[in-house]
Amino acid sequence: MNIVKQMTVHAQKLNPQLIYKKIDSVLRGYVADEVQTQLEVLGLKKALILPANPSLGRTIVDGQYFVDGIPISKTAFANDPEFAITTSDIHEMFKHENSKIVSKSGSIDEGLNIGEMEFLEDVLFWAGQVNGNCLPAGSGDFFDALLKKQYNKQNDTDEPQLQKPHLYVSGTSFTKSRDLIKYFGSSYTAFITADILRGNDEAAWLNKVGAILKDHQQLIIAFDETVNNSEFTAAELRVKMAAYVKKVIDQFGIREVLIEGGATATSVFQAFGLNCFEPVYEWQRGVVQMKAENFMVTVKPGSYELPHYFKVQYKLHQDV
């Protein structure tokens, strides 16, 4: 929690109009402890936490978390390699004695208040309840609603064209994304197998990478079905993926990358020593192109939909 504390202290010194705690929308990680730490640093007694994203089909109703109407423990989030979600009950997901679930008819009291939200109108309602005595925390929908209270959104700039050669790194464990690559993107993909991770056939794999880039000027790197968490931990896989990405970029001079999966992106940035990014373009909510030194990099959460532009470029769609 020391890093959370330090970052909150630095943010407070900037005297911003709003401090917003962005959390994972399905409460993976150490959400409660981080929010509690920030409350203490900011001298506040209560937080309003809206983790769900109704715009993405993620809702909290009667104390239960749903994804497209399905209890979250019955979805692909149950297979998360580090924070597997085995319950749909918000109290059990949140695991903090100082928390409570509040409906729109309830009151925001001291402690950690988790708001129920089924529709976007609910998010707008909660945004209207936030004041200087309450730390807002939550998903992208909640942040959008808070911004709409004070600002008018400007029109996006024209959609950029990707530089070639282009690299798409898929480090997510989310089934839908992996299936897209498996069934539609095989001609562009250099799969990393368990055998390669054990130190075998790396030269042959790099030769395949070179051949794909020569033929298509674009490449997908992803783990295949032989790679599993019984042999490699999630942390080990991130580091290994980052190492292979660095080899490919250094050897083939790639300067534009899409990275799928926040933890994977962090490992890649660490491998390159990147820590400063300038936002350039928002493909869609949560999918942002940034400039980092001599790179253009787009980061996408693993469970978010792939922007249509990338589906077309890589033919990851039945209709293209």
Which of 26, 64, 22 shows the shortest CA–CA distance to 304? Answer: 26
pLDDT at 319 over 60: no
pLDDT of residue 22: 94
The ranges assigned to domains in the chain are 2-146, 166-313
Helix (H) or strand (E) holding 63: none
42's tokens: 């900011």
Per-residue pLDDT of 62-104, as tens digits, reads 999 999 999 999 998 998 888 889 999 998 998 888 899 999 9
Q: What pLDDT is recorded for position 37? A: 96
* pTM, rounded to two decimals: 0.79
Contacts (Cβ under 8 Å, ≥6 apart) of 203: none
Among residues of the chain, what percentage have pLDDT more than 90?
A: 71
Q: Which residue has the higher pLDDT, 319 or 204?
A: 204
Q: Does pLDDT of 320 surpass 60?
A: no
- pLDDT bucket at 221, cuts 50 / 70 / 90: very high
**pLDDT tens-digit map of 248-288:** 999 999 999 999 989 999 999 999 999 999 999 999 888 99
Multiple choice CATH, 166-313, 1.10.390.10, 3.40.980.20, 3.90.1150.10, 3.30.70.2520? 3.40.980.20
pLDDT tier at 155 (50, 70, 90 boundaries)?
Answer: low
Class of 2-146 per CATH?
Answer: alpha beta
The pLDDT of residue 213 is 97
Residue 53: its H or E element: none
Please tell me the distance from the alpha carbon of residue 251 to that of residue 200, in angstroms, as a whole number: 19
